[in-house]
Amino acid sequence: MPTRRAEVTTWHLEQNSPADLRPAREPDAPVRIERAETAAPEFARFLYTAVGGDWHWTDRLAWTRDQWHNWLTRPGAELWTAYLHGTPAGYAELDPHPAGEVEIAYFGLLRAFHGRGLGGHLLTHALRRAWDLADRWPAREPTRRVRVRTCSLDGPAALANYQARGLRVHDISTTTETVPVY
Q: What CATH number is attached to the domain comprising 84?
A: 3.40.630.30
Number of structural domains (the chain) is: 1
Mean pLDDT is highest, among 33-37, 50-54, 175-179, for 33-37
Average pLDDT, the chain: 94
Domain that holds residue 141: 3-180
Looking at the chain, which runs of residues are DSSP E strands? 3-15, 31-35, 78-84, 87-97, 101-109, 145-151, 168-180
What pTM did the predictor assign? 0.94
Q: Strand 145-151 relative to strand 168-180: parallel, antiparallel, unpaired?
A: unpaired
Q: Strand 101-109 relative to strand 145-151: parallel, antiparallel, unpaired?
A: parallel
Give pLDDT, residue 182.
Answer: 64
Q: What are phi and psi of 121, to 5 degrees?
A: -65, -45
Query: Looking at the predicted structure, is the pLDDT value of residue 180 above 80?
Result: no
Answer positive or negative: Cα dihedral of 140, 144, 93, 89: positive
C-alpha 147/C-alpha 131 separation (Å) is 11
C-alpha 135/C-alpha 18 separation (Å) is 14
pLDDT band (50, 70, 90) for residue 156: confident
